[in-house]
Amino acid sequence: MIWIVISVSKEYSHGANHKQEGTECWYVYYLNEYGKITSKRVNLLQALYYKTKVKKQYEFLCEECGNFVKGNINLLKTQIACPHCGE
Ligand SMILES: [Zn+2]
């Protein structure tokens, strides 16, 4: 399975157990094999490891013209405009 790690973030869990409330949790966000953004809970060591794997820049393939367009990973959430095809 190929993962593309998008980001690693620290969040606080609010479990049903009140003693555990406010526990720090690390989550890794990645693209799974279907291109869907997925998150997974990891421990601190894994989080540090995944942080080194975070990709900042992507190359998107334009289906219209077949050119690769470089873009920030945040563009995944929006539409990517291809400079070769115009607006
Ligand atoms: Zn294009």
Interval 13-51: pLDDT, tens: 665 555 656 678 899 988 877 778 889 999 999 999 988
Task: Give the per-residue pLDDT at 57.
Answer: 72
Ligand 1 centre and the CA of 79: distance in Å? Answer: 13
Element (H, E) at 47: helix 44-51
Task: Give the per-residue pLDDT at 28.
Answer: 92
Structural tokens at position 86: 């115009």
Q: Is 86 left (phi over 0), alpha (psi -120 to 50) or beta?
A: left
Residue 43 amino acid letter: N
Ligand 1 centre and the CA of 61: distance in Å? Answer: 8
Task: Give the per-residue pLDDT at 80.
Answer: 65
What is d(CA 41, CA 49) in angstroms, rounded to the nearest whole number?
A: 13
Task: Give the per-residue pLDDT at 46.
Answer: 92
Ligand 1 centre and the CA of 68: distance in Å? Answer: 8
Ligand 1 centre and the CA of 33: distance in Å? Answer: 24
Task: Give the per-residue pLDDT at 62.
Answer: 81
Neighbours of 67 (CB within 10 A): 13
